[in-house]
Amino acid sequence: MTKGDRILQPGESKYFMACGVGGILSCGLTHMAVTPLDVVKCNAQANPAIYTKGFFGNAKIFVGTEGVKGLARGWAPTFIGYSLQGMGKFGLYEVFKYHYANMLGKERAKKWNKGVYMLASASAEFFADILLCPFETTKIKVQTEQGYAKGITDGYAKLLRTEGFGGAYRVLPTLWARQIPYTIIKFVAFEAIIEQIYKYTASQGRPKDSYGKGGQLGFTFLAGYLAGVICGAVSHPADTLTSVIPKLAPAIQNNFGFGEKVGFIMNGYKGEHGEVKGIGFGGLWRGFGPRVFMIGTLTGLQWFIYDTWKVTCGIPTTGGKK
């Protein structure tokens, strides 16, 4: 952006389009980059009888059986799915935030800003997960079921051929359970943390506009990382269920509802439709350490990339006085 260029404003179609592209870049690239961490984490959740060590021990087990190349398995559905999700997450967040604030009026929107952030982020994630779901299901199967498929092309085709669109969207309820609370915290916590950072710097005689873009983006990463750590902790049990449910036997998938499947995963099941070994409450927290580290890093980088893109499009960095 050069001096004299007009700053894009919320409500303009170019503003929302820029935010959507920023979401594609921030989510697609970062999730693809941590695919090796995700592979180890998902296998620890989905195959607990095999992966019984900590993160590094489980990584050694995986590499020993699947090879180093196996750590990149699922990178393509990860990139495509989370690019689409990022477009919906960030782009629609700005759309909903703008319209909800207008519905409330300027003064009430400012007074109830946390509520606006919550409603906007939840609304955006609802639709973003619909875009993500079939690719997330493909990713999980490619990463955790040996011999299922090599990647996105054969994996997505096999998923639709064997389970149909119903199978592709089977984990959508658990995806919503994982992602909507995660996204609410991601945006509300980030907005709150970055606001407090700039309040503190202002109290020290350094308002936001006294920092260059590099300094502002550094604060963006810090606030994003802290928000991500909180996100990872809150959404982890649902993340475990998202990894485990697709691996249930087809007979169980087709004959029981979502709540019953969760009960089987927690408590176990043995009957005419097959057998499920219960993981208990403790099993819901498998892979917690690497996921919190991964999500904290991811979220910090996502906000950093997103704000960097906004700056290049003529939009101020997030938080503080614009």
Residue 123: which pLDDT band, with cuts at 50, 70 and 90? very high
- Mean local confidence (pLDDT), 271-277: 82
Nearest C-alpha neighbor of 37 from the set 58, 11, 16: 58
* Cα–Cα distance measured from residue 307 to residue 292, given in angstroms and rounded to the nearest whole number: 22
Mean per-residue pLDDT of the chain: 88
Residue 282: which pLDDT band, with cuts at 50, 70 and 90? confident
- Tell me: pLDDT of 206 over 90: yes
Indicate the burial class of 322 (C-beta count within 10 angstroms; 0-12, 13-18, 19 or more): exposed
- Tell me: pLDDT of 56 over 90: no
Residue 2: which pLDDT band, with cuts at 50, 70 and 90? very low
pLDDT (tens digit, 9 = 90+) per residue, 4-52?
Answer: 456 788 889 999 999 999 999 999 999 999 899 888 888 887 787 888 8
Q: Which of 100-104, 197-201, 281-285 is predicted with the least confidence, judged by mean pLDDT? A: 281-285
- Tell me: pLDDT of 226 over 80: yes
Q: Does CATH place domain 13-312 in 1.50.40.10? A: yes
Specify the residue for token string 């709150």: 192
pLDDT (tens digit, 9 = 90+) per residue, 143-185?
Answer: 888 889 888 889 999 999 999 988 899 889 989 988 898 899 8
> What element of type H or E holds 275?
strand 274-276
* Segments making up each domain of the chain, as ranges: 13-312
Locate 181 and state its tokens. Answer: 């609370």
* Cα–Cα distance measured from residue 260 to residue 245, given in angstroms and rounded to the nearest whole number: 11
DSSP state of 257: -
The pLDDT score that the predictor gives to residue 119 is 96
- Tell me: pLDDT of 65 over 70: yes
